[in-house]
């Protein structure tokens, strides 16, 4: 039987609305600061968590 | 990102203000600009990167002389001169105007290094325009500086992309371009966020929650330490592998050792295959035994059942002459088939009831019939099982023999290479053995760390479940727990996404690279992108795959193929369904600006490279000299060209060195002598 290869879509579909929203926001924050290798984004990410789950 | 125009003001040899429009469409994505040696092609390439990042490539000499020499010379002491580059471009649905400008005050004939300032204006889809507050930051997010090496480059130096030692940086930049880096960074940062959230849980969540969280924190710390150790070990392993490859390469090149080394490498490959085949046979045997092995023990059962069934049939018990269901029906209806009434507890009723005990059940009879039907196939299946097992045993024996033979042969070849009479080889061989040993130790250690990490991760998952069940009455603590759970879920999803993306990207980039390279090269070399994103070129000799010692030209072709493949993939992936959500239509689109694009490539390679790039790049700016660009390059590129230009060299040399360039049957100035000042002119032809 051929093995089923999991895709990014499969992973996303298994997430709840909140989880998907946070994941998207986290990647946006990280992408925007990619050029700063030493960036500490803890505060920004923490704020994103609180936005999604107030 | 698609560039619409570039305007230079007193930028190096480009005197005054000069503009070149580069706006192109998908059918004609190419701008072709010719220029003689020293005309300013490299300067023009650097004008793009200076505008974007304020820096020029290392090969530009006298970098402090930014203002055109003649402008500087005419400037009185105390006067100021302006140098600037303006770029207009579209990116993800917005238009941008970028200006980097520097003013230099003349204090002596020697120019001082000026500090440029950058400004960026953005026009949104609704037409409103505004200045961007942090222009450099925005530029870095549009095209990170490291990544620009794939898009703004000098063809003669592009081979550095694939040279050993460049992997680290290149790999990092590919990760950025292929959306892997942001996932890795998120995975680095989310534990810190979690730590902050769970601090509240420990503080307000009560003793039980505190204990569980402390245990989770300890486990996470251990996880971090082990992951760090794994990274160090993997880096060490990569270095050792590289050293071993270098030793093998020396052995391959050694006149006496070469044939032995070649045979050994082939034998090692065969041995790996043979061991895999043996392992497969063992797995097949296990699968067969676990699924059908029980049939081996059905010999008596099948025989006895068959005998029983036959005896029952012989006795007439099967099929049952009278069915219990029929008797039940007579009793229920209260009338016998002979017509007698069957009232309860009467003699006829008792008589029929007695028959009920002797009647056979329909279900039992059906079961017997089915059983009988299955008995003979069991006997056949038993025979088949026996045959299959015998075949596997034969395979196992053949594979074991092959493994043994190859092991012996490799030992013998090892011995030959250790022969002290082989000058220089003995030492290399000892080094290889030593490296083999050290590699083995590292691999073992990495293996045990992986096992330990799996265990730690299991324990974390267990403790997290315990945490979710622990009673927490405080509202703050409950909120912290919910948020921590959310972060953990996102982290797990990101880990999986990273694994999926990494493998997918590598495979697709590898396939694309092979495809582009095969269209360009005239040799039977095969490029390969390893799991660590290392680029190498192989060829197969006598069934053995060997690394190709690449020439400069081959490195250039490999690099250009790589650039073309990366450029294509960067665009493709952003159109797919991804965690980042829907992106703009042109996301992942970047122009390719190449100086001396065809380096030292032969004509046939120039043609193929031109074709590949014109077809793959969404926007291509090619800067070439007459000798490089006329002929094959023009013929190949012309159907795709939307803008044609010449950087005309104006020289103060008085004797006539003037030269023209003929494009599409029309002569255009290429070099002009007897100018008042040395400078270059960016002339639009079409």
- B494 with A31: Cβ contact below 8 A: no
Instruction: Using the predicted structure, report yes or no on whether residue B578 has a pLDDT greater than 90.
Output: no
DSSP symbols for B246-271: HHHHHHHHSTTHHHHHHHHHHHHHHH
Q: Give the SS3 label for residue B568.
A: helix
Given 3-state DSSP classes, what are the helix, strand and coil percentages for chain A, each rounded to the nearest 5? 60, 0, 40
List pLDDT tens digits, range B299-315: 777 778 778 777 877 77
**Strand intervals (E) in B200-258:** none
DSSP state of B359: S
> CB of B685 within 8 A of CB of B646?
yes
DSSP state of A24: H
- Where does residue B232 rank: exposed (0-12), middle (13-18), buried (19+ CB within 10 A)? exposed
In this prediction, residue B525 carries a pLDDT of: 85
For residue B241, the tally of other CB atoms under 10 A from its CB is: 15
Query: Does A51 contact chain B (CB < 8 Å)?
Result: no
CA A26 to chain centre: 4
The residues in B 172-231 lying below 8 A from A, measured between CB atoms, are 176, 179, 181-183, 185-186, 189-190, 192-193, 196-197
Model confidence band, residue A24 (pLDDT cutoffs 50, 70, 90): very high
Interface of B with A in 84-103 (CB under 8 A): none
Q: Which residue of B has its CA nearest to A14?
A: B493
Nearest CA in chain B to A49: B483
B482 interaction partners in chain A (CB closer than 8 Å)? 53
Sort residue B131 into left (φ over 0), alpha (ψ -120 to 50) or beta. Answer: beta
Judged by DSSP in three states, B682 sits in strand
Q: What is the pLDDT of residues B614-630, one digit of tens each?
A: 877 889 999 988 887 77
**Tokens (6 digits) for B197:** 């959230």
For residue A52, list chain B residues with Cβ-Cβ distance below 8 A.
Answer: 486
Q: Across the interface, do B193 and A46 touch by the CB < 8 Å criterion?
A: yes
Cα-Cα-Cα-Cα torsion B661, B663, B667, B669, nearest 10 degrees, comes to: -40
Give the per-residue pLDDT at B251. 81
C-alpha gyration radius of chain B: 39
**Stronger pLDDT, B354 or A1, i.e. the higher one:** B354
Buried b / exposed e over B45-63, threshold 16 CB at 10 Å, is: bbbbbbbbbbebbeebeee
Model pLDDT, residue A2: 45
C-alpha dihedral sign at B584, B588, B590, B592: negative
Sign of the C-alpha dihedral computed for residues B175, B179, B180 and B181 taken in this order: positive
Question: What is the value of ipTM here, to two decimals?
Answer: 0.94
**What's the token pair of residue B605?**
């390679």
* B92: confidence class by pLDDT, cuts 50, 70, 90: confident
Share of chain B above pLDDT 90, in %: 32
Give residues with Cβ within 8 angstroms of B415, minimum separation 6. Answer: none
Distances (CA, A) of B558 to B158, B168, B413, B628: 9, 18, 34, 19
Q: How far is A2 from chain B (nearest CA, A)?
A: 16
Q: Do A31 and B182 touch (CB under 8 A)?
A: yes
Interface of A with B in 29-48 (CB under 8 A): 30-32, 34-35, 40-42, 45-46
- Mean pLDDT across chain B: 85
Query: Which pTM does this prediction carry?
Result: 0.67
Express each pLDDT in B241-256 by its tens digit.
888 888 887 887 777 7
């Amino acid at each position: 039987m051929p093995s089923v290869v999991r895709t990014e879509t499969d992973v996303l579909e298994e997430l709840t609305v909140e989880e998907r929203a946070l994941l998207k926001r986290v990647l946006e924050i990280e992408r925007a600061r990619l050029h700063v290798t030493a960036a500490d984004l803890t505060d920004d990410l923490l704020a994103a968590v609180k936005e999604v789950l107030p | 990102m698609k560039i619409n125009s570039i305007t230079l003001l007193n930028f190096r040899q480009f005197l005054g203000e000069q503009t070149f429009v580069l706006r192109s469409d998908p059918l004609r994505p190419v701008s072709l600009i010719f220029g003689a040696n020293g005309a300013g092609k490299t300067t023009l390439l650097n004008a793009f990167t200076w505008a974007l990042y304020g820096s020029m490539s290392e090969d530009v000499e006298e970098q402090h002389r930014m203002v055109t020499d003649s402008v500087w010379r005419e400037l009185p002491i105390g006067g100021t001169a302006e140098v600037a580059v303006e770029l207009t471009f579209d990116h993800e649905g917005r238009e941008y105007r970028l200006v980097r400008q520097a003013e230099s005050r003349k204090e002596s004939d020697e120019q001082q290094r000026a500090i440029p300032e950058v400004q960026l204006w953005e026009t949104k889809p609704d037409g409103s325009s505004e200045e961007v507050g942090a222009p450099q930051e925005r530029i870095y997010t549009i095209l990170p500086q490291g990544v620009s090496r794939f898009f703004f480059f000098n063809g003669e130096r592009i081979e550095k992309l694939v040279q050993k030692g460049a992997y680290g940086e290149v790999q990092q930049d590919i990760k950025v371009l292929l959306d892997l880096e942001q996932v890795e960074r998120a995975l680095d940062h989310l534990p810190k966020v979690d730590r902050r959230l769970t601090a509240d849980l420990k503080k307000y969540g009560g003793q039980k929650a505190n204990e569980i969280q402390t245990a989770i924190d300890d486990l996470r710390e251990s996880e971090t330490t082990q992951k760090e150790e794994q990274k160090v070990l993997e880096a060490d392993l990569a270095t050792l592998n590289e050293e071993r490859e270098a030793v093998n390469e020396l052995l391959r090149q050694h006149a006496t050792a070469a044939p032995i080394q070649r045979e050994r490498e082939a034998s090692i490959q065969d041995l790996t295959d043979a061991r895999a085949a043996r392992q497969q046979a063992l797995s097949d045997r296990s699968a067969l035994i676990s699924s059908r092995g029980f049939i081996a023990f059905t010999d008596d059962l099948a025989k006895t059942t068959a005998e029983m069934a036959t005896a029952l049939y012989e006795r007439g018990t099967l099929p049952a002459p009278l069915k219990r269901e029929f008797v039940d029906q007579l009793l229920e209806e209260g009338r016998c088939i002979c017509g007698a009434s069957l009232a309860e507890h009467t003699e006829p009723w008792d008589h029929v009831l007695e028959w009920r005990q002797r009647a056979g059940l329909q279900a039992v009879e059906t079961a017997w019939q089915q059983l009988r039907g299955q008995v003979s196939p069991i006997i056949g299946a038993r025979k088949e099982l026996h045959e299959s097992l015998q075949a596997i045993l034969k395979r196992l024996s053949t594979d074991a023999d092959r493994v043994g033979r190859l092991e012996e042969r490799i030992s013998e070849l090892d011995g030959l290479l250790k022969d002290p009479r082989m000058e220089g080889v003995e030492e290399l061989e000892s080094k290889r053995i030593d490296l083999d040993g050290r590699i083995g130790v590292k691999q073992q250690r990495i293996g045990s760390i992986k096992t330990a990490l799996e265990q730690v991760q299991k324990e974390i998952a267990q403790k997290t479940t315990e945490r979710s069940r622990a009673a927490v009455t405080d509202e703050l603590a409950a909120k912290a727990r919910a948020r921590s759970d959310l972060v953990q879920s996102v982290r797990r999803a990101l880990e999986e996404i990273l694994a999926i993306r990494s493998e997918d990207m590598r495979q697709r980039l590898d396939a694309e690279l092979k495809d582009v390279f095969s269209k360009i090269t005239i040799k039977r070399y095969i490029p390969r992108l390893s799991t660590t994103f290392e680029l190498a070129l192989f060829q197969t000799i006598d069934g053995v795959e060997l690394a190709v010692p690449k020439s400069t030209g081959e490195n250039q072709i490999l690099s250009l193929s790589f650039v073309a493949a990366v450029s294509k993939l960067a665009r493709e992936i952003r159109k797919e369904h991804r965690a980042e959500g829907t992106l703009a239509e042109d996301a992942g689109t970047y122009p390719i600006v190449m100086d001396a694009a065809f380096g030292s490539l032969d004509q046939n390679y120039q043609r193929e490279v031109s074709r590949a790039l014109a077809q793959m790049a969404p926007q291509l700016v090619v800067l070439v000299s007459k000798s490089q660009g006329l002929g094959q390059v023009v013929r190949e590129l012309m159907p795709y060209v939307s803008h044609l230009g010449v950087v005309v060299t104006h020289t103060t040399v008085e004797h006539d060195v003037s030269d023209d360039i003929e494009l599409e049957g029309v002569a255009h100035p290429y070099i002009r002598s007897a100018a008042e000042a040395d400078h270059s002119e960016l002339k639009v032809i079409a």
